[in-house]
Amino acid sequence: MDVYGIVGNPVGHSVSPPMQSAGFADREIDATYVTFEPAEAEIERAIDGAAALGIAGLNVTIPFKQDVFELVDPDPLAARIGAVNTVAFPDDGPPQGYNTDAAGVTRSFDHHDVAIDGREAVVVGAGGAGRAAAFALADAGADVHIANRTVERAESLASEVDGATAGGLDSLADAVPSADLLVNATSVGMEEDTTPVPAELLHEKLAVLDAVYTPRETRLLREADAAGATTIQGLWMLLFQGVEAFEIWTDADAPIEAMHDALREALN
Ligand code: NAP
């Protein structure tokens, strides 16, 4: 039996175990998926130990995505993002690192038949999720504007992303009315009735993905829906980052419906 898992601290709240287990069961893959919660100072020993024990693959969550990036051989996209959320342990050679949050963003739009290539995209946030979203959307052909509370962080990210522009949250007033895609990659919205984007900027030509997945229906998504926009819950990004990890580990097409159903049930 292959052993997979998720490394985080805390990790007890993670919904990845039921989602990935449903994927393995549906594909009749003999594997188990468990949680690991090392102390923050122990992450290097944890990754070495996982390799030595023959663990097949790991997801990585808060607070270890940057630490693990330093401990593995990152693929080119993860190297640009500077963070790793998925590790594969090949039979020989160093652990391989990937950032599947990026595919989580693009596959969420694809799944909802929203085109990215040639579109104007606004990413709110320049932390880990914002970096993944900005690189993913630019690589898929979008013109990206990054708006962040700390403007220097947006500017620094924009200097790394092809053709991207940057500003503070006040730049949303200019950028959102002409945009086709909007991603909230801040944590704003987890608190009841907060939103990073003023409702009056939202419009019906917009497709809005909120990375926040608790609550499932954020104020941003409610207001986007009221404005006639297409809305995509953070559940989809969470699903597709897991789907991408499953496919990296197993080389099999992930059973999207089974994993979606398990994730939805776990989040309920
Ligand atoms: P992070 O690296 O800590 O970045 C946090 C971001 O939120 C920064 O841009 C920060 O701006 C901004 N922010 C925080 N509080 C704010 C406030 N009060 N007003 C305006 N901006 C604020 O976190 P992360 O890992 O990118 O995660 C961000 C969100 O995405 C979280 O809710 C996380 O759960 C979610 N996420 C979802 C998925 C998924 O699969 N659905 C995957 C990854 C992350 P500053 O730079 O100014 O501090």
Q: Which one is catalytic: 57, 61, 65, 119?
A: 65
Task: Identify the residue whose C-alpha is closest to ligand 1 atom 44.
Answer: 129
Q: 119-133, pLDDT tens digit by residue?
A: 999 999 999 999 999
Instruction: Please give the structure tokens belonging to residue 82.
Output: 């500077």
Percent of the chain with pLDDT strictly greater than 90: 98
Task: Identify the residue whose C-alpha is closest to ligand 1 atom 12.
Answer: 186
* pLDDT, mean over the chain: 97
The single-letter code of the amino acid at 33 is: Y
Report the distance separating Cα 121 and Cα 106, nearest Å. 12
pTM above 0.75, yes or no: yes
Ligand 1 atom closest to Cα of residue 189? 32
Instruction: Supply the pLDDT for residue 22.
Output: 98
Provide mean pLDDT across the span 6-30. Answer: 97
> Does ligand 1 lie within 6 Å of residue 104's CB atom?
yes
CA-wise closest residue to 122 among 170, 84, 64, 187: 170
Q: Facing residues of 123 across strands?
A: 146, 183
Q: 213-257, pLDDT tens digit by residue?
A: 999 999 999 999 999 999 999 999 999 999 999 999 999 999 999
Report the distance separating Cα 264 and Cα 216, nearest Å. 10
Instruction: Supply the pLDDT for residue 184.
Output: 98
Residue 1's contacts (CB-CB under 8 Å, 6 or more residues apart) are 30, 31, 32
Instruction: Supply the pLDDT for residue 214.
Output: 94
SS (H, E, C) 49-70: HHHHHCCCEEEECCCCHHHHHC
SS (H, E, C) 120-179: EEEEECCCHHHHHHHHHHHHCCCEEEEECCCHHHHHHHHHHCCCCEEECHHHHHHHCCCC
Instruction: Supply the pLDDT for residue 92.
Output: 87
**DSSP-derived pairing of the beta strands 96-98 and 31-36:** unpaired
Which helix (H) or strand (E) covers residue 97, if one does?
Answer: strand 96-98
Q: 149-196, pLDDT tens digit by residue?
A: 999 999 999 999 999 999 999 999 999 999 999 999 999 999 989 999
Residue 65 bears catalytic tag:
yes
